[in-house]
Amino acid sequence: MHLGNEGAKHMVTRAERTTFGEWWWTIDRWLMFSFVALMVSGFLFGLAAYPPVANKLGLPTFHFVNRQAVFLLLFGALMVGASFLNPRQVRRAAIVLFIVGLGLVVATLFVGAEVKGARRWINLPGFSLQPSEILKPAFVIMAAWAFSERQSRRDMPSLMIALLLLPMVVVPLIRQPDLGQTILVTTVWCGLFFLAGLHIMWVIGLAGGGIVGLFAAYRFLPHVTDRIDRFLNKGNGDTFQTDMALESFLSGGWFGRGPGEGIIKRSLPDSHTDFMFAVIGEEFGAITCLLVVALFGFIVVRGMISARQNADPFCRMAGAGLVMLFGLQAFINMAVNLNLIPPKGMTLPFLSYGGSSLLSVAITTGLLLAVTRKRPKAALMDRMAQPHGANAPAGMTLMPGTAYRQGSPTHA
C-alpha cells in the first residue's frame, strides 16, 4: 500500500518509539508553542527596549540584547530538557533545587549584595543570581508532592511536611526582605492547600494569617510601609516610576508610537525589567498589550485544564501549582505597571530582561510541560498499586497500549 510522505513519517515516528518521538506525541504542544511565542516576542520587544538602557549606562548599544539572546538559547534548551523528565525525576530534581535554592537564599542574608536596602542577590563571575528565583518552582513541586501524598499514603505525615515547607521558605525571604516573592509563594501554597481539600476553618485561618502578616510587614518593614503609603497617597513620596508607566500607556494609545520610537522608556529606570509591559504599551500599543494578556491567559487556562484532567495526583497538583506560579507572577507584574497594586519588583515571565528571571521561568515551564505529558496508564497503575499507595482512582480501567493524561484513553 502506498502512503504519502507525511503519512509515512507519522507511522514511522509512532512505531519506532524513539525518545524524541515519544516526547513529541505526549507533550502538550499548545503549551510549548505558547511558551516559544512568549520567548520570541520578548526578544523582539527587547530590541526596542534594551538599547536606550544600555546607552544610559554607558554600555555597548546591544549589550542587553546580546545577553538576552544567549539567555534565551540556554534556558530555552533547559526548558525543553526538563520537559523530558518523568514524574519521579521531576521530584528528584525538585529536591536538589530546593536544597540548593534555600541554601543560597539563606546565604544572601550574610554575603548577598545589598540593593535598595535588600539582600536578594549573589554576585557570581559575570552573572548576578537571585536564588529565590530557582527556589520558587522547587518549592511548588515539593508542596504539591506533600499534598498529593496525603491522598495515597495515610501513614506519612504529609500534611505536617507541607505545613513546615512554607515557613522554611517564607522566613528567609522576609529576612531579605522580599515581600513580593513571599506573597507569591504563599498564595500558590494556599492554592494547593485549597485543591487538596482543606476544611473551611483552614480557609478562614489562612486568610486571617495573611491579613496579620501584611499588617506586620506594613508596621515593621520600612520599605513596605513606604511603598504602601506611596500607593495609597500619591502625594506622599516618590511615585516617579509608576507615574511614568501610566504615561507610557497613554502615550502609546491603541496602536503605539512604533518600535524604537518610545520616549518615556528613556526616563524609566527599570524599563527593561519590572516595567517592560509599560514599554510594550508605549511602542506597540494597547492592542498588543491585550494580545500579551490573552496569551498569558490562554497558558493559564490550558495549563489548569491539563492539570485538572490528569489522572496522577502528583502531576495534577504539581501542574496546577506551577500554572498558578507562572500566572500570578505575570498578573502581579502587569498590575504594578498599571498602578493597580503597590510595586513588587517582579519581572514579566519571558518578556522582562534578566538571567535569574529566565532561569526560573525555564525551570517552571519545563517542569510544567513534564508533569502535563500523557503517561502510559500501566505506569500509573503500577505506581498507585505499590505497597504504600492507595487503590487506583475510581472509574479507571487498565487497557494495554493506552496513554492517559486527560482521564480518557489515547492510543499510543
The pLDDT tens digits for 259-316 are 877 777 777 777 788 888 988 998 899 999 999 999 999 999 999 999 888 888 899 9
CA separation (Å) from 329 to 51, 66, 130? 25, 25, 15
Domain extent listing, the chain: 26-375
Whether residue 144 is predicted with pLDDT greater than 50 in this model: the reply is: yes
Average of per-residue pLDDT across 183-196: 88
Average of per-residue pLDDT across 153-177: 83
Residue closest to 79 by CA, chosen among 334, 374, 403, 349: 349
Owner of C-alpha cell 502512503: 3
Average of per-residue pLDDT across 78-103: 94
pLDDT attached to residue 30: 94
Quick one: pLDDT band at residue 194, thresholds 50, 70, 90? confident
Residue closest to 25 by CA, chosen among 35, 39, 36, 10: 10
- Give every CB contact of residue 410 below 8 A, 6+ residues apart in sequence: 374, 402, 403, 404
pLDDT attached to residue 200: 64
Arithmetic mean of pLDDT over the chain: 80
Whether residue 238 is predicted with pLDDT greater than 70 in this model: the reply is: no
Compute the distance between CA of residue 73 and CA of residue 71 in angstroms, rounded to an integer.
Answer: 6
Compute the distance between CA of residue 275 and CA of residue 245 in angstroms, rounded to an integer.
Answer: 7
